[in-house]
Structure 1
Amino acid sequence: MGKRSLSRGRRRERPERSPDSSEPAAFPWWLFPARICQRGSPRGRLRQVLCPRGYLALLLSTGKAVVLDTEERENGAGSCTSKPRDVELGNVRVCSLACGTSYMLFLSSEGKLYEQVYIAGPHSLQPSLQKSLREKCIIQVSCGKHHSLALSKDGQLFAWGENTHGQLGLEDWCSPQPKPKLVRSLGGSPLALITAGGEHSVALSVSGAVYAWGRNSAGQLGLGHTNSLCCPTFVAALEQQKTVFVSCGEAHTAVLTKDGQVMTFGAGGYGQLGHNSTRNELRPRLVAELFGVRVSQVACGRSHTLAYVPSLGKVYSFGAGEQGQLGTGPECKQLVPLPMELPGSVTCTSEELYKIAAGGNQSVVFCLDKEAEKHPDMKIATVEESMVEKWIAHGNSKKLQKTKNQIEQIFSSVACVNGSFLKQSKDEHFRTCMGLSGLDMWAVRLFFEKLKQKPRVVQQVNRLSGMGERARALNVTESSSSGQQWQSSCIFTRQIKCWLHDVDFLLMTKPGILPPHTLPVKREQLVADAWFHLKLKEGSVFQRRLEVIFVGEPGIDSGGLSSEFFTIISRELSCPKANIFRQFEDSGLVWFPSHDPAGNDTFFLIGILLGMALYNACKADFHFPLALYKKLLNMQPTLEDLKELSPTVERNLQFLLDEEDDADIEDWNLYFNVITSQEESVVDLVENGSNIPVLKHNRKQYVDAYVNYVFNVSVKKQFADFFSGFLRGCQTTAWRLFLPEELQAVICGSAEYNWGDLEKNAQYMGYERTDEAINNFWTMFHQLSEELKKNFLAFLTGSNRIPVGGMEHFVIIISDYQPEDPDLFYPVANTCSRILHLPRYSNIKILQEKFLRAIKSYEKFGLQ
């Protein structure tokens, strides 16, 4: 062994580069405890070093990876047993490594992932392409003992391998997964980092939210208990701590905050938590010995931890040290951080270029060359200002395809969209919670204002916003202060979503090119005429703008007649006399009946109507509960939704859940069955349910099964027909951006009226606000009953419902109407533009008489 080889605590001079050598000079690095012989030391600047048990994996700045076999001796010391083994990947440049117990992952600079089962020996390694992810651009990889994680550029997290403790995060305790599977529950979170421990996993979002799952026997998930979890769960104790980095050991976890503080939790038997104790910690706890200094890096080995303080140029270690991995002298466990013994005469050109790594029972400290080091792009795709400028510039050029590719990558991903408009100034995005999204809404508005310059780009963004994961309505992103999650589409304001829907409608209907879709109906047989018409039309017809014609009546439909049509037909179809829906008297709402009329296409046709109403920006209030709009967005209704539909039934079920006495529950004499609404038959909620009594231990299962029966099982075909019709009637996809409450508001409108706002926002043509006619009008209007005021809205717009935004954003225009004798003429409404043509009546009594006769005429049309 040459004198220039390194060992713990020994000095190594930086070798000079020979004049005739094309190899870059090696940079200083120290390995604890193993002695690396000179013949085993690779030449070249290091980018990454990993040290699992049995081998070392090194990535050079040239993109070349090499592996050195090691062996551990009885006294804990180790040595290199072979020359470096090359990783043969042809011209592929490696940018990142990850190592498990017996396998390695190699990530190329193009985002392709290669796998290699580790086998000791003299031969070179030839990794194979991970074919399941070959269509994905992977940006990060991490390995546990026997499981792997991979994060793609479009924000998707994949997991594969062992799943004994739920470490794959697939929401069940499934068997080992040989191929990568999508971790769906994090589909909307813009992840910044993924890391795998022994048998647990952790993900960190751009906003500092930490999610953990897998084995939790020592509290390594930081959730305050020791129950293992198979679903990523928000670590509430770290909320708003501004977490910027996470590292996992075999059974402990360390997090680093933006201000340089270190918090640890999990197994502490070797002192690896640094709390001067061997106790396990179930929640994150600040490492007090490092308080007051700014830590820039933290790394967890199997049972030890490293922390680097750049201002002091020191690396601190704590935990298991029996094999010398702590580099502090005595080979024993260490309960508090102490500085490692690094050669004082060898330093990097910049203290920030020290890098630390911890493996099984080893530690590595090495230096990087600032000029040679080029960090790979490890961030998910997000919208950037320079990118938007290029989109606009290339909107109508040959480079449009590249723009489309970038848009597709970002806007087909909930995570990428959610990570695109975060407030970076003053770290506001770190304060994400239910009441504070952390989003820069000014940036969102500016983004869409810029895109308006290029309709083709807007169309691409809009189309993709309703596809991919959004189309599956994952609706999951950042954590809230209560550990819940806020919806994925809250990246856009409701007004922006409505604007996107309008743009989508204009692009689909092609005004001036495609003729309208005409629907002629007679008022006395409106439903029959509508059914006859809709049954005959092909699907492509519904792409066009709707134009309703009331047969025998004058008027051109510019939006008002359509609005009137949907107002009338939704009321007629949902009323008890129609005998179509199941009526709930205690809520006034309707739901699908549990029986399915054979050969009846009524629900399919009603679905078309509701879809047409949404597509054409009309209101159609069928008195459905919020549960319907949840199901349209592929979200499951809950007991709270049953409370809205039937408060009486929900109250009884809640009493059952709250009952503490076993005997009282038995007295209910309930079984896992339900009597159909027609009381003609008994249906089992579970297999053999009529023979399974409801007891204290299974009452929650009974309630869940009951809710599922009401909203899903009993109406499976009815809703399927309805949904199929809805998709036929609404040809856009932008509606998938809405939250259920927003979709309901857009379709049904609002029934919350603020008549003062109506007057305050009114505009005038040919009138001044101070004119006597206007003063008389508002004096008379505010004296009307609530119902007559609603009738006025129906007279003016075709519907008595307020559009999205409420009265605050609802503007009517009162126009001067000048017939020769105004007292002989009624007010006239232009329903498409909300214009009231108001004659200048000679006195307020005539105004009131004419006004009431005009709006009351709409009672015969069912608009009262």
Structure 2
Amino acid sequence: MLCFWGAQVREGLGLVKAEQVKKGKCGLRCLCPKTAVQDMSAGRSFAGFIRDGKVSVLRLRSEDYNHDGKLKKLQLKNKTFRQIVFGGDGAVLLANAGNVLIMDKSTVCKPLKGLENRQVIQITCGDHHSMALTKDGQVFVWGENSHGQLGLRKDHPGSPSAQHVQSLSGVPLAQISAGGDHSFVLSLSGVVFGWGKNSAGQLGLGDTTDRHVPTVVNSLNGKKTVSISCGGEHTATLSKGGTVFTFGSGGSGQLGHKSFRDEHHPRVVGELWGSEVSQVTCGRHHTLVSVASSKLIYSFGCWIQGKPGNGKMIKKFVPFPVDLSTKCNREYTIEKLIAGENHYFALFFKGLGNISAMSKPNPSKGIVTLNERMIERWVSERDSWVTIKREITKMFSSAACLNGSFLKASQDEQDFELAEKAFSKLLGNEKVISKVMKVVEQMLRSLNPNPVGEESLRIYILLPELIRCIQKQQRTELTEALASKILQLDPDAHKVLEKYWSKLPDGWLKSLVKLFRKASAELIGQISYGKMNQDIQCLEKFLKILQTIHQVCCSANRDIPNRDFIIHEINDLLDMLQVTLEYLKECNDVYEIVLKQHYYIRTIKILLKFPFAADSASKWRMFCYLRYERLQSISGSFMRNDNTNMLQINRESVLTDTLEYLRQNIHSYIHPLKVEFIGEHGSDIRGLSAEFFSLLSQSILKWEKKVLEVQENSLVWFNPDHVQANRDFYYLGVICGMALYNHHFINIDFPLALFKKLLQQSPTLNDLEELSPVEARSLKSLLEEDEEEVVDMLFLDFMVKGQELIPNGNQIPVTKANRLEYVDLYVDFIFNKSVKSQFEHFSEGFYKGCPLDAWSMFHPEELQQFFQGSPKYEWKELQLCASYEKCSASDELIKNFWTVFFELSEENKRKFLVFLYGTDRVPVGGFSKRVLNISLLNCPDADDRLPEAQTCFGILILPKYSDINTLRNKLIHAISFCEVFGRE
């Protein structure tokens, strides 16, 4: 059944005889043609009907056409149609096969150019432009572009043929709508995009500026929009649950807001609140809505009231019900509302229940999406291979279709479990996998680097899992293409993608890490085995993506351990570099080997930027190799071995002599430091310089100038009161930098906060707890206090140690409301403000003393350990890593030695380390990283001799003592009193 009212039209519309038309109140007419109307539309000049797939058009009465038109059946050569839409002058027709035809004023129809090989599922018309949505989720436009209504670009002149709106290509769309000179699309997730003319605010963007590209209507985000309709200069949207929003021109009351004002933002039609509207349609200057549950139609805006030919134009600015016949209410449900220029139509279908067919999803109007059943059909090859290939191409060449796949009922997020099952089923057919890989690779190349809307970025959630499932071993082409596209995204899109990643299920997030870590590992492995044709820049792409994921995991507190990011193949690369360097020492100038060395070093320099990818030991090895490479580049192929950096020093005045030497400014920091103790014999092959830094550390802690303060827990921090002699802090930094660069330890227990500051990270309250537990506990108690009165009774103000934390801090009390700010400022004062000058000079000196900035790759904890040594003394490990010369572990002397050693106090054990290595610090990785070789000295006067140590080589020379007591006495004496190198 069809009902109509408004401006005069041919009685019966040519569908039935005049006497078969039933008349109602206010000019309402109802008719029931013998052949049911499947679809209809009305515009300024025409109305059109589809019956049995055939199209008929009726010319409407208008001011410039002074007689009734006759219903004319269009001759369209065996085509059947399912949709027709009218705009300002002509019409667009959609055939059942998905073809599009356009009709001009003279009712001549012809195929639309530009859509020949496309299957269209929706069409819409404006005054001077039209739109089409294809099965693969692409939007095409044609017509005029006077106000940017085509959404192509500002200077686009318009086009008679269909043009692709590329900016929307990744958005899974549910609906398109065209108004006078503006356009809208709606995504599956309810996101609304508008563009074109905005003179009355019809785009809902809060202004009246035209838009030439699709723009998200942010004020409708979260409103769960399910349909949208454009009028001449106004727009209406319908949200899930039946809420209607209108915006734009209100001069005829078409917004329904009890006024004739324009609205620049979407506004709820209050009179319809609670009515659960099921349909909304905009005409030129009016709006129609229907309520399926009550079978009511409401209208607002321009209204022609009265008998046909004698009607009067009035304006209604609130919704009022259209008086339908009782038969309509009893036997029919509302299928479609049509609001034309000055005409109103309602198409009814016979049916049971209160739910309109329009409220149910129509598969023929929806874009194609991937599902398990589709994949099962491909894998089992239930269709011909030609058909399957065509479907795979259509599905995987469209980012919009993939983004619209596996959506939950809410339509706003993917069902990850369903997607994972579907992707895994692809593994059942090798031909299917191969075809999918080829299509996905092509699709990746076409992805828009500047996508519109957040939904288009969902492709970067689904693709990693898909690629992980289908990509064959030892192939990274798809991963590289994916990484390239992610890195091309603009910063705003990157932020959205990071938000999506942060909310991924643990399994998917781990898979994302695994995909790019595996690709990085494979590339590093190939580089390690000398394949110098590998693209190192590709490795950098993978690592950049991994870095982003790592940052996401850290900021979102995701339970993905750091070890999941570590690429163990880096050790293989470093091993091969070591072999290469050793080969070069023997065969000095082999061209290919030199090239390989440079290739490995280039790779290491890239890895340097991504510290999360290597473990501590690997990072230290990289630091050492880069130091070697720097020295080699300065000194040539042969490393210099002269006395350029020889520091001659008195053991009794080590600090004074060192400062005097540094002030001479003759030291070459890039070259290794050599130390000679005046009056003692021995060459420095690391042993003497290790002892030098150990002695220097003790002298610094006893420095009369009190540059450093020892805290309550033995940690050391800058003296905030020592502000006059800033060069002292500079030289302290130089000494510390020299120690790190020369691979030696400083026996000064700085807190972790110092190393955070060196790495430009901010210390926290936890760092203050390490340095000053009492202060930190007080501040934590302040933060944890629930009672505001208790906080007030502490009588705290914004002062610390007589210094204002903020201007007039002594007059601002600390309250429950501002206590967090107070604590943050307190921590900042201790670590930054109070020692600003001291740290700046120390940092300057540190960079001078360690001219290789590769140390910036370390985490604060790693830098602290490389600087101070490991805090763990696993003494059993020392025994396990020992080797023996001229004796064995089963000899009684060796058994006695270890018995005596484990009897020693902790202090004496550490003295033994100083005696043997020149320092009591344990290298990162434990004693296994140190050499301990016990060599037997078999001589007649063994009981009269003391143990000897060759500190440069980690060799303990142990006389063959007659009994365990002699061994004990001699060992304790040696480690307690034999401080001078070479002295027995």
In the superposition, the TM-score normalised over structure 1's length comes to 0.58
Task: Report if the CA contact (8 A) 1:10-1:343 is conserved.
Answer: no
Q: Does 1:554 align with 2:554?
A: no
Q: Does 1:528 align with 2:609?
A: no
Of residues 483, 498, 503, the one that matches 1:379 is 483
Letter in 2 for 1:606: L
Quote the residue 1:27 is aligned against. 117
Structure 1's unaligned 5+ residue stretches are: 16-22, 57-66, 72-79, 89-93, 101-118, 122-142, 148-163, 166-194, 200-214, 221-247, 251-267, 279-301, 303-318, 361-366, 421-429, 471-487, 676-681
Task: Report if the CA contact (8 A) 2:131-2:142 is conserved.
Answer: no
Task: Report if the CA contact (8 A) 1:69-1:82 is conserved.
Answer: no
Quote the residue 1:458 is aligned against. 600
Q: Does 1:657 align with 2:726?
A: no
Quote the residue 1:582 is aligned against. 709
Structure 2's unaligned 5+ residue stretches are: 1-73, 85-93, 101-112, 173-179, 183-190, 196-204, 207-213, 228-236, 244-265, 267-276, 283-333, 338-355, 369-382, 405-434, 446-480, 488-515, 551-555, 581-595
Of residues 977, 981, 984, the one that matches 1:857 is 977
Q: 1:202-221 CA distances to partner (integer Å, 9 max, x unpaired)?
A: xxxxxxxxxxxxx998599x
Letter in 1 for 2:654: L
Task: Report if the CA contact (8 A) 1:815-1:838 is conserved.
Answer: yes
SS of match in other structure, 2:743:
coil
SS of match in other structure, 1:623:
coil
Relative to structure 1, is the Cα distance of residues 618 and 572 closer, same or farther in structure 2, using a 3 angstrom cutoff?
Answer: same
Quote the residue 1:770 is aligned against. 890
Task: Report if the CA contact (8 A) 1:594-1:714 is conserved.
Answer: yes
Task: Report if the CA contact (8 A) 2:99-2:120 is conserved.
Answer: no
Deviation at 1:598, TM superposition (A): 2.7
Deviation at 1:594, TM superposition (A): 2.1
Letter in 1 for 2:597: P
Of residues 804, 809, 812, the one that matches 1:692 is 812
Of residues 486, 494, 497, the one that matches 2:616 is 494
Deviation at 1:660, TM superposition (A): 2.4
Task: Report if the CA contact (8 A) 1:609-1:726 is conserved.
Answer: yes
Quote the residue 1:518 is aligned against. 646
User: Which fold has the larger relative contact order, with Cα–Cα distance below 8 Å and residues 6 or more apart in sequence?
Assistant: 1
Quote the residue 2:138 is aligned against. 49
Matches within 5 A, 1:331-730: 339-341=363-365, 349-352=389-392, 353-354=394-395, 355=398, 357=400, 373-376=442-445, 377-380=481-484, 384=520, 387-388=523-524, 409-410=540-541, 414-415=544-545, 433-435=559-561, 437-439=563-565, 441-449=567-575, 453=580, 454-466=596-608, 470=609, 489-510=611-632, 512-515=638-641, 517-537=645-665, 541-575=668-702, 578-585=705-712, 587-675=713-801, 682-730=802-850
Relative to structure 1, is the Cα distance of residues 639 and 492 closer, same or farther in structure 2, using a 3 angstrom cutoff?
Answer: same
Relative to structure 1, is the Cα distance of residues 333 and 800 closer, same or farther in structure 2, using a 3 angstrom cutoff?
Answer: farther
Task: Report if the CA contact (8 A) 1:33-1:323 is conserved.
Answer: no
Quote the residue 1:845 is aligned against. 965
User: Matched residues in 2 for 1:689 and 1:707: separation?
Assistant: 15
Task: Report if the CA contact (8 A) 1:418-1:491 is conserved.
Answer: no
Relative to structure 1, is the Cα distance of residues 816 and 701 closer, same or farther in structure 2, using a 3 angstrom cutoff?
Answer: same
Task: Report if the CA contact (8 A) 2:932-2:955 is conserved.
Answer: yes
Letter in 1 for 2:605: R
More helix by share: 2
Q: 1:18-50 CA distances to partner (integer Å, 9 max, x unpaired)?
A: xxxxx999432324352699x98999x999835
Q: 1:108-144 CA distances to partner (integer Å, 9 max, x unpaired)?
A: xxxxxxxxxxx989xxxxxxxxxxxxxxxxxxxxx99
Deviation at 1:669, TM superposition (A): 1.8
Quote the residue 2:160 is aligned against. 83
User: Matched residues in 2 for 1:802 and 1:551: separation?
Assistant: 28
Relative to structure 1, is the Cα distance of residues 438 and 692 closer, same or farther in structure 2, using a 3 angstrom cutoff?
Answer: same
Deviation at 1:145, TM superposition (A): 7.1
Matches within 5 A, 1:92-241: 218=222
Q: 1:158-206 CA distances to partner (integer Å, 9 max, x unpaired)?
A: xxxxxx99xxxxxxxxxxxxxxxxxxxxxxxxxxxxx99765xxxxxxx
SS of match in other structure, 1:526:
helix
SS of match in other structure, 1:804:
coil
Task: Report if the CA contact (8 A) 2:136-2:400 is conserved.
Answer: no
Deviation at 1:556, TM superposition (A): 1.2
Task: Report if the CA contact (8 A) 1:758-1:811 is conserved.
Answer: no
User: Matched residues in 1 for 2:574 and 2:167: separation?
Assistant: 35
Deviation at 1:830, TM superposition (A): 1.7
Relative to structure 1, is the Cα distance of residues 386 and 742 closer, same or farther in structure 2, using a 3 angstrom cutoff?
Answer: closer
Q: 1:666-703 CA distances to partner (integer Å, 9 max, x unpaired)?
A: 2222211222xxxxxx3210122122111111111111
User: Matched residues in 2 for 1:217 and 1:811: separation?
Assistant: 65
Letter in 2 for 1:837: I
Letter in 2 for 1:378: L
Quote the residue 1:140 is aligned against. none
User: Matched residues in 1 for 2:825 and 2:760: separation?
Assistant: 18
Relative to structure 1, is the Cα distance of residues 4 and 552 closer, same or farther in structure 2, using a 3 angstrom cutoff?
Answer: farther
Task: Report if the CA contact (8 A) 1:749-1:801 is conserved.
Answer: yes
User: Matched residues in 2 for 1:530 and 1:714: separation?
Assistant: 28
Deviation at 1:766, TM superposition (A): 1.7
User: Matched residues in 2 for 1:582 and 1:52: separation?
Assistant: 74
Letter in 1 for 2:946: Y
**Residues matched between the structures, number:** 595
Q: 1:626-653 CA distances to partner (integer Å, 9 max, x unpaired)?
A: 1001111111000111111111111111
Letter in 1 for 2:661: H
Letter in 1 for 2:483: K
Deviation at 1:854, TM superposition (A): 1.2
Deviation at 1:595, TM superposition (A): 3.1
SS of match in other structure, 1:537:
coil
Relative to structure 1, is the Cα distance of residues 47 and 617 closer, same or farther in structure 2, using a 3 angstrom cutoff?
Answer: farther
Letter in 1 for 2:699: E
Deviation at 1:415, TM superposition (A): 4.0
SS of match in other structure, 2:925:
coil
Quote the residue 1:264 is aligned against. none
Relative to structure 1, is the Cα distance of residues 320 and 858 closer, same or farther in structure 2, using a 3 angstrom cutoff?
Answer: farther
Q: Cα RMSD over matched residues?
A: 5.3
In the superposition, the TM-score normalised over structure 2's length comes to 0.52
Relative to structure 1, is the Cα distance of residues 811 and 719 closer, same or farther in structure 2, using a 3 angstrom cutoff?
Answer: same
User: Matched residues in 2 for 1:844 and 1:448: separation?
Assistant: 44
Letter in 2 for 1:856: S
User: Matched residues in 2 for 1:87 and 1:28: separation?
Assistant: 11
Relative to structure 1, is the Cα distance of residues 714 and 374 closer, same or farther in structure 2, using a 3 angstrom cutoff?
Answer: same
User: Matched residues in 1 for 2:830 and 2:124: separation?
Assistant: 65
